[in-house]
Amino acid sequence: MTTLIDKLLLYESARLSPVEIAFLEEYAKTMGPLAKALNILQSEADVQMGWLLPTLTLLITKLHKIRTSCRYCKPLVDAVQEGLQRRFEDMLLEPEFIAAAILVPKFKTSWTSEENVIKLGLDYIKDHLEEDPSHQSPANGSSASDDEDFFASMKTSDGQENIKQLEGYLASKVDHKDILKSYPVVCKLSLKLNTTLPASAACERLFSTAGLIFSPRRARLDAKNFENQLLLKRNKKYFSFSK
């Protein structure tokens, strides 16, 4: 949408009055962050559920800053902010979604300044961290109990080890997802919470493509042929048919 407005201002500015140009420029500035946020959340690569809250939080912040300098689009900004709050109010305080965002190395705890929000996410993470299999006791029961091993109480418990991994992850300055490999317990929970996409756009694109293939004139396609054509259509960028 903002691209269309930019083109309109570029090629039709001679036909527009100064007020119309000022309105369109402000409208493009207002809707730009919303368009970018939609593109991020509708992407099919490099985006997981943990991207939802940081994207929404930053979008709300940007809209708030834009509103202070708006002359024509304040009602539009108010409507967008009201819609975001009404649609995502519960999600913005959902511990599972907050934890998912914290467990994305790109964001961690830097995406919001609300300490109570971060606390909700960290409490959820601490409650759901599972034991690291590499630190479990041998199955044959060869590990000594407190009665058998005088120094058993000095050994680090699984809970303490989990907290150490979480603290190490949060303290790391690396924002690439490979950092999760250094913290197996954190990585396992991150994969669990961030497997799903934050939007259904990918599914909708798939159904849309399927509708174009399975048209009334091609209604006699069998299931295998239809599935193969859909697979090729959605993955054509991976195929090269050049001689």
DSSP state at residue 157: P
pTM recorded for the entire structure: 0.76
pLDDT at 156: 54
Q: What is the pLDDT of residue 14?
A: 73
In sign, the C-alpha dihedral spanning 194, 200, 206, 209 is: negative
Q: Taking the mean position of all CA atoms in its chain, how far away is CA 202?
A: 14
Which residue ranges make up each domain of the chain?
A: 2-92, 201-235
Burial (CB count within 10 angstroms: exposed 0-12, middle 13-18, buried 19+), residue 52 = buried
The model's pLDDT over 77-100, given as tens digits with 9 standing for 90+, comes to 999 999 999 999 999 999 999 999
| Per-residue pLDDT at 197 | 85
Looking at residue 217, its pLDDT comes to 83
pLDDT value of residue 173: 92
What mean pLDDT value characterizes the chain?
Answer: 85
Which helix (H) or strand (E) segment holds residue 26: the answer is helix 18-41
- Phi/psi-derived region of residue 46, left when phi > 0, alpha when psi is between -120 and 50, beta in every other case: left
Hey, what are 34's tokens? 């919303």
Question: What pLDDT, on the 0 to 100 scale, is given for residue 215?
Answer: 86
Q: Which residues does 187 contact at the CB level (< 8 Å), separation at least 6?
A: 180, 181
Is there a contact between 53 and 101 (Cβ–Cβ < 8 Å)? yes
117 close to 91: Cβ distance less than 8 angstroms = no
Residues with Cβ < 8 Å from 59, sequence gap 6 or more? 33, 34, 37, 84
Q: Output the pLDDT for position 139.
A: 47
Structure confidence at residue 73 (pLDDT):
93
Q: How far apart are the first and last CA of the chain?
A: 38
Q: Among residues 151, 168, 171, which one has the least CA distance to residue 160? A: 168
Q: In the chain, which stretches have pLDDT less than 50?
A: 137-142
Query: What tokens does 175 get?
Result: 């924002």
Q: Specify the pLDDT at position 185.
A: 94
Strand, coil or helix: what is 147?
coil
Distance (Å) of CA 107 to CA 25, 75, 118, 150, 176: 31, 31, 12, 44, 10
